[in-house]
A and B are shown apart, each in its own frame.
Chain A
Amino acid sequence: MNEQPALLPPVDVVEDESGITLYADLPGVPKDKLSVQADGETLIIDGEMALEMPKDLEATHVEVSLPRYRRVFSLSKELDPNKLSAELKHGVLKLRIQKAERVKPRRIEVTG
């Protein structure tokens, strides 16, 4: 477990019939410094910034004070952690988690 202090990135979570889409703002994090883990019931997003900074830099105004983001979610049972796809573009992580086949709502034909 990584317990270094970290910023809580803002997220949007949208659910539809086949799964959940999560968007997380992770500005400054390159692909190789991002880790997305889904083990069982927990989803952990962990990212470290890599900003290009010149030498002898002296901060005069700081709103983003930590170089790391971390956020943990608990996944509900119907989501399949094996069916997860992640895409990182312009500092936004888009995560798609599919629902397990058996729990997708099925329309039941009514005959008679």
Chain B
Amino acid sequence: MELSLFPRDFVAELDRLHRQVQRAFEISPSIRGFARGGFPALNVASTPQSVEIYAFAPGLEPKSIDVQLERGVLSIAGERKPAVPEEPERATVHVNERFAGHFHRVVTLSDDLDPNEVRAAYREGVLHVSIKRLQSALPRRVNVS
């Protein structure tokens, strides 16, 4: 049990508890560390025909994003420049919460995907990767004669 430095800070306590609960319920902790909280945040969803990945990666140049799919493993990498003030010596940074630097996130996907049917689009800071399932993997209706 971790102890909070300021045990009476109710919000911090709640936050810590929330993290613990989240870790406890993490279904498959990845070898690359805890999946949550990284940049970019990822949502993965599927349809009967495809897998849809949404990476919340604002402030990037679309051309600079490196998206690769290899054997059912999708990797998204790039770099986000820090918000540098125009005259750093005359400016004060009051809050600095946004991610800056190199990032690389990897998602393991199912193995019924078609590597030739991948579409990636970057809109409003969200990278949407859509990968179609292999035709051979789609459920097929069998006629009964």
Contacts and interface: CB of A to CB of B under 8 A. Distances in A.
B40 to A, nearest CB: 8
Contact of A12 (B42, B98, B126): B98
B47 interface: yes
Interface residues of B, number: 44
A64 B43 CA distance: 6
A60 B52 CA distance: 10
Given A16-B90, A28-B56, A61 B124 contact: no
B141 interface: no
Interface in A47-99: 49-64, 89-92
Interface of B: 35-36, 40-48, 50, 52, 54, 56-62, 82-83, 85-87, 90-99, 107, 122-126, 128, 130
Given A26-B125, A27-B124, A62 B93 contact: no
A64 B125 contact: no
Given A26-B58, A58-B46, A64-B41, A12 B52 contact: no
Interface of A: 10-17, 20-21, 23, 25-30, 49-64, 89-92
Contacts of B93: 12-14
The A contact surface, by secondary structure, is loop
Contacts of A17: 90
B67 to A, nearest CB: 16
A98 to B, nearest CB: 15
B91 A15 contact: yes
Given A59-B43, A60-B44, A90-B62, 17 more contacts: A10-B98, A10-B99, A11-B97, A12-B93, A13-B94, A13-B95, A20-B94, A25-B59, A26-B125, A28-B54, A30-B124, A59-B44, A62-B43, A64-B41, A64-B43, A90-B59, A91-B58
